[in-house]
Chain A
Amino acid sequence: QVQMQESGPGVVKPSETLSLTCTVSGYAISSGYYWGWIRQPPGKGLEWIGSVLHGGSSNYNPSLKSRVTISLDTSKNQVSLKLSSVTAADTALYYCAAKDDIFGIYWGQGTLVTVSS
């Protein structure tokens, strides 16, 4: 069973770049699935950020596309997220996610990122 663990700074300053890493175990990210990120502002609903397929296409939420980069490191079996020019509106719980065509989404445990000076 695929398992994912997010890591990264819990606080990021406004206008800076948010960087998170997701370490995947139990499944090689080069074997399949779309790998990506979902976020949830405190007390609010879920928002898909984007996903990439190893050796294939990437898809980003149009509302975030200009600021987001998701990449894969197959040597470390990791998925990374970079979100530039952050504001307080980017404060959220960030989940690493794997998308399967049948089962839908596998979730990491999530990591809270607060944008604050």
Chain B
Amino acid sequence: DIQMTQSPSSLSASVGDRVTITCRASQGIRNDLGWYQQKPGKAPKRLIYAASSLQSGVPSRFSGSGSGTEFTLTISSLQPEDSATYYCLQHSTNPITFGQGTRLEIK
């Protein structure tokens, strides 16, 4: 199985801050990676697909980069509604695997 190592596991930042979350894959997954935002009691919502493509309707402050084994999600200017848990997900190879999640708190 491909292991996805996501960091940090949690972080606290202020409105307007730039935030970066990282996922590392245990082997190359091309760009078959997505970033998802999950709020309590809700299904995950896709933010980024194909590592760097912004999902329609998602604010442009969210961006993704990377290919192969290292990927990042960046929020350029944090907003209060960004408080959530963020997951990376690789779908290059079965079984699909997830990062452990990053809990983002707004100070």
Contacts and interface: CB of A to CB of B under 8 A. Distances in A.
B91 to A, nearest CB: 5
A108 B98 contact: no
Given A45-B100, A46-B87, A105-B34, A61 B95 contact: yes
Contact of B96 (A48, A62, A110): A48
Contacts of B81: none
A60 B94 CA distance: 8
Interface stretch (A22-30, A73-81, A95-103): A95-103
Contact of B89 (A61, A105, A108, A110): A105
Interface residues of B, number: 20
A22 to B, nearest CB: 13
Given A45-B87, A46-B87, A62-B1, A103 B46 contact: yes
A99 B91 contact: yes
B44 interface: yes
B89 A62 contact: no
Given A46-B44, A51-B94, A102-B50, 14 more contacts: A45-B98, A46-B101, A48-B95, A59-B94, A60-B95, A62-B1, A99-B91, A101-B32, A103-B49, A104-B33, A104-B89, A104-B91, A107-B44, A108-B43
